Amino acid sequence: MPPQYAPSLRSRLAPLLLFLQTGFIIIFAFYTEIERNGNADDFSKRYPEFQDVNVIVILGFGFLGTFLVRHGFSGSGFNLLVAAMATQWALILNGVESLYYRGRLRIDLKSLIVAEMCTASALISIGAVLGKTNPVHLILIGLLEVSGFILNKWLLQFLLNTRPLISIMMLHIFGSLFGLMLTGTLYRKGSEQRFEKEKFDTKMGLFSMLGTVVLWMFWPSFNSVLVDDRTPGRKLEAVCSTYLALAVSAVTAAAMSVLSNPKGKLHLIHLQSCILAGGVAVGVSMSAVRHPWEAMIIGFAAAIISSIGFQYLKIHMLLAFQCHDTCAILSSHALPGLLGWIAHLVLQIKDSDDHTVAIRFAVFHICSLLITIALSVTLGILTGLLIRLKFWRPPQYKNCFDDQAFWEVCSHLL
């Protein structure tokens, strides 16, 4: 028997996608142009970096969301759909300043990279509501979250004179808090117990682990792609620091998984949630990390905090705040991101010889976090209230975490 809300895809999803895509085509037709002034060396340097970020956004996040038994098609397919729409929207929003001053949106490889990094923030948010929303919801969430994140980026850069790298790397904190507020607003009665179809198995866990491995391999590029390479060795420092933090967090996460398991065994979902914590934390603090041991300590602490969050905070967030976090973005991105913010503050003050400069930096740094938290929480709640409307036809409780509600699935594959 087909799900009750399956027809809503035809009456709502298709018109929404066609309307948005037609609008994007019109905007790109009249207001954009390719930046052709770069030389061949710039292209040969930028294109591998663009490919690395593209792999993270499409392949890494896509496979990462396939750990649910009956939600593999949606986890990977909707990730691609949202990424494709949100990246186009991010290109437009990021080019507004260029449009104002030059009359055109300039597109080059760097602008594509920045747009995809903005999209990554939206994909992090979607991880909190994975399986409990329909594709119309996900498109709206992606567009609204990207809009909010770019607004946050502008506020940090123009009000606090924050460097672009630092403002963009706040994507982990912004995306995770936005997603947590969103899933709290969309709370369904009965979520204290696991959803009927919210199950995992070995085969889907293997595909999801592939996504984790892809993210682990390419994360050094993600952290270093926007680092200013005019300073000799700075990009190399970023790559080495990220790799070391990832290596330490992988080892530490494995140890914590064994220690926290009653049977003393490794837990795959635990590892997936915590193994990237070091890369997230060192990415937020990248501008202040100068030595390998600093990155390794950050990776070690991030894995411990992430493991504790996965093991204990996830269930308490559900019971105390009615916040059902499907992909554990609290432990994967929020906690490591906040740790990275603290590490950035401490390292910057440690390396500063002028107390006045240190105090000024601390004030601006704290203000950047407060702005990010306020904006992400507010927009997350407002977005949740918007997509709670019955007009968008949310999936019924029994159809949550089920590909059959949205995909043509052969019965023998279920």
pLDDT tens digits for range 171-208: 999 999 999 999 988 877 765 566 666 677 777 778 88
pLDDT tens digits for range 272-311: 889 999 999 999 999 899 899 999 999 999 999 999 998 8
Q: Rounded CA gap, 393 and 259, in Å?
A: 43
Cα–Cα distance list, 338 to 283, 335, 366, 370 (Å): 11, 5, 11, 12
The three-state secondary structure class of 199 is: coil
pLDDT tens digits for range 98-156: 888 788 888 989 999 999 999 999 999 999 998 888 899 999 999 999 999 999 999 99
Q: Among 88, 99, 132, which residue's Cα sits nearest to residue 324?
A: 132
Place of tokens 């990220």: 242
The three-state secondary structure class of 70 is: coil
Q: What is the sign of the dihedral through the CA atoms of 85, 88, 94 and 96?
A: negative
pTM of the model: 0.92
Enter the tokens of residue 73: 């098609």
Enter the tokens of residue 354: 């002028």
Farthest-apart Cα atoms in the chain, separation? 71
Task: Show Cβ contacts of residue 198 under 8 Å, excluding neighbours closer than 6 positions.
Answer: 68, 131, 326, 400, 401
Average pLDDT, the chain: 88
